[in-house]
Amino acid sequence: MKYLTSLLFLIILSIYAFAQSSQSSAKLYPTGKITSRYHNNWTQKYYPKRIEAFKQDPLNDGEIVFIGNSITEGGKDWSSKFEIAHIRNRGIAGDVTDGVLKRLKEIIYFKPKAVFILIGINDLFALHHQEDNPALKYDKIIQSPKYIGKNIIKMAKIFHQKSPATKVYVRTILPTRKIFLKNDILTVNTIIRQNESKGYYKIIDLYHQFADEQGELPVKFSKDGVHLNDLGYEKWVFFEKPIIAGL
């Protein structure tokens, strides 16, 4: 009888612990139909689906996490690309800096070995939405390139303060073949470079790895003037692999 009582107690305790763990983990992710008013109408629908996928495949302690938008998400299995274990993809197509800020809890909770941030191009597309795709609808428009740069620095500062053992790398925004974005990309990248001295992060200058003499993304590295093709991802991996292998 004592054995059955003890067994029943352990089962109830396990169920309670599991329920508590599930509730705690649920708090790590954004909730609500719309997370960021800066997302366009397409991203407002896609973002929650990607968050749900993250819930189903949570991070583990001490991993390497790539944070970004479709360019990061499009890399798919980064561990396979780099031939280095435990690199996790936290890219969301269409995401903007405000959207990333609202989903940092999960990443901070698992105290990654390192985070690599590449974000900002969709903020700039929003700023120039009339030139890019007027059909997309926005509740709020990004204020300026300066606002984008400040948000990126804010992300790095949050990691620096809340997960001090995590190494933080900020990648400069890649060039595109969209002329109307060229100057604003340079502005954001300048802000990122100028603030590296604060000590929150280290720069990885992807922009200068890819930009041609005109400051554009070469055709051979892109499928549409913005997103990378296989050759583009190969160049990225070749450039960054020594950094990641040295962690």
Q: Is residue 120 domain-shared with residue 226, that is, in the same domain? A: yes
pLDDT for residue 32 is more than 80: no
Cα 108 to Cα 28, 105, 243: the distances in Å are 9, 5, 21
Domain holding 202, by residue range, is 33-245
Contact (Cβ atoms closer than 8 angstroms) between residue 64 and residue 244: yes
In terms of domains, do 52 and 168 share one? yes
* 157 and 136 within one domain: yes
- The larger pLDDT score, comparing residue 26 to residue 3, is at 26
Do residues 131 and 185 both lie within one domain?
A: yes
Query: Given this model, what pLDDT does residue 132 score?
Result: 85
Lowest mean pLDDT among 26-30, 123-127, 213-217: 26-30
| Mean pLDDT, range 78-105, rounded to an integer | 98
Residues with Cβ within 8 Å of 78's Cβ and at least 6 positions away in sequence, in order, are 66, 87, 88, 89
Segment among 7-11, 110-114, 118-122, 129-133 with least mean pLDDT? 7-11
Shared domain for 80 and 3, answered yes or no, is no
- On whether both 13 and 132 belong to a single domain, the answer is no
Pair (20, 111) in one structural domain? no
Please check the confidence at residue 10 and state whether its pLDDT lies above 50.
no
Average pLDDT, the chain: 91
- SS3 at position 166: coil
**24 lies in the same domain as 135:** no
Pair (137, 37) in one structural domain: yes
One domain, residues 56 and 78: yes
